[in-house]
Amino acid sequence: MNREERRRLRRQAYKRTLRALHCRPECSRCHKPFDGKGQWVSDMEDGWIIDLICQGCTTQVDYAEAVANDSIHDYVQLDSGRMWAWHKDQRVRVMPMG
């Protein structure tokens, strides 16, 4: 997967999140409206994004934590807008439906 595909998928995930939340998110520190551009860091609780931090407000600690989490987890966004994460070394078992 190249850089453009990752960006496209990320934008689609953000749009699904916005539709699910029915609101316009903003930076929790400076209240800059979320535009999906740049490197935003998010805090999640139970799979829901509870805080967004824009690139200008992100500290080195925030960024390091996000990079560490991203390096060991794979993320999938469900249609409800909720994020689901699992450890990259863990094998995912798909159960047949029906």
Structure tokens given for 41: 């860091």
> What does the angle CA 70 – CA 82 – CA 68 come to, to the nearest 5 degrees?
10
Residue 33 lies in a domain: yes
The number of distinct structural domains making up the chain is: 1
State the residue range of the domain holding 73.
3-87
User: Given pLDDT bands bounded at 50, 70 and 90, which one contains residue 38?
Assistant: confident
* Chain center to CA of 64: 15
User: Is residue 83 a contact partner of residue 75, using CB atoms and an 8 Å limit?
Assistant: yes
Residue 65 lies in a domain: yes
* pLDDT of the residue at 98: 44
Residues 6+ apart with CB under 8 A from 44: 50, 83
Residue 11 lies in a domain: yes
Higher-confidence residue of 31 and 80: namely 31
* pLDDT of the residue at 57: 92
Residue 97 lies in a domain: no
Is 0.85 topped by the overall pTM? no
Residue 63 lies in a domain: yes
Residue 93 lies in a domain: no
> What would the pLDDT profile of 65-93 be if each residue is shown by its tens digit?
888 887 877 777 777 767 777 677 765 55
Residue 77 lies in a domain: yes
Residue 95 lies in a domain: no
Strand, helix or coil for residue 2: coil
pLDDT score of 30 more than 90: yes
* pLDDT of the residue at 67: 84
